[in-house]
Amino acid sequence: MERWRSGLVLLLSAVLFVGVVAIGPGSEMAALRRIIGLDKDPLGEPADVAPGGVHAFLEHQPGQSDVPVTWDPCREIRYEINPEQAPDDAEETVAFVQEGVAEVAAITGLRFAYEGRTDRRPEQDERGFVTARPDPVLVAWATEDEVEELEGAVAGVGGATARSYDGDGWLWFVTGGVTLDADAFDRIEGERDGAAQARAILLHELGHLVGLDHVDSAAELMYADNVGQLDFGQGDLNGLAQLGKGRCR
């Protein structure tokens, strides 16, 4: 009987703990709920964007041509920066990337976690994306000698790798990368609008990272060629907002 009573106390204590965690207010409780798997709410909300423009997605859910593959909005996207070969010093480079990431986060509602500088170098898989392992996202600079996709007039490459965790085959992006052309950034650094061009290139590749594909409209930043568009267009904004509304894992 005594043994049964002790077990009941433990059971009631566990139930009480779960109940407090489940309904308890505050950021500490929210973080604990996420750690133990009780909280499946997105970490942020996509921006309220007026309709318009055109957009396209890198990947779609199997058999669902109107449903894009997204990152898990209930988990932070971890990323690292390798400032080697960037035109500015390390601190300026990190700030430059963080500002771009913050802009994409504000539109998508996705949350990013900066994990510091790294000496990791870009890797290509069979699709030309950077890194296929579930490492943190890598933002780096390189030349075409190291990353073949940067040959010619290409100023950057970006993308993400998806995998499934459920029996239904639902896909989530789990890692990816952005590699910026060191030679191109050196060339535009001295131009009158060089800072704006550099920002536009970064935003374009971050758009690929979170799931946007190229479009045929020159009014969008996700147009394949840079023809003077320096900021996300209306279609880009709508696509980014939709990419922040994915399913939680």
Q: For the chain, how many helices (H) and strands (E)?
A: 6, 8
Domain-by-domain residue ranges, the chain?
2-35, 60-243
- Report the range of poorest mean pLDDT among 7-16, 124-133, 224-233: 7-16
* Mean per-residue pLDDT over the chain, rounded: 86
Structure tokens at 90: 């390390």
Distance of CA 189 to the CA centre of its chain: 26
Helix (H, G, I), strand (E, B) or coil at 213: coil
**Other Cβ atoms within 10 Å of 232 Cβ, number:** 25
Q: What is the mean pLDDT of residues 57-65?
A: 95
Instruction: State residue 18's pLDDT score.
Output: 43
What six digits make up the tokens of 182?
């060191």
pLDDT the model gives residue 30:
47
Angle between helices 194-210 and 90-108 (to 10 degrees): 50
Place of tokens 């997204």: 70
The predicted structure's pLDDT at residue 123: 80
| Class of residue 58 by CB neighbours under 10 A (exposed 0-12, middle 13-18, buried 19+) | buried
Percent of the chain topping pLDDT 90: 73
CA 192/CA 186 separation, integer angstroms? 13
If one compares 13 and 95, the residue with the highest pLDDT of the two is: 95
Tell me what pLDDT residue 40 has: 76
What is the pLDDT at residue 20? Answer: 47
Q: Which two tokens stand for residue 113?
A: 């976690």
Tokens of 194: 């060089």
60-243 belongs to CATH 3.40.390.10 = yes
Note whether 133 and 175 are within 8 A (CB). Answer: yes
pLDDT tens-digit readout, 139-193: 999 999 999 999 999 999 999 999 998 778 999 999 999 999 999 999 998 888 9
Task: Dump pLDDT digits (tens) for 186-236.
Answer: 999 888 899 999 999 999 999 999 999 999 999 999 999 888 899 999 999
Tell me, what's the pLDDT at 17? 47
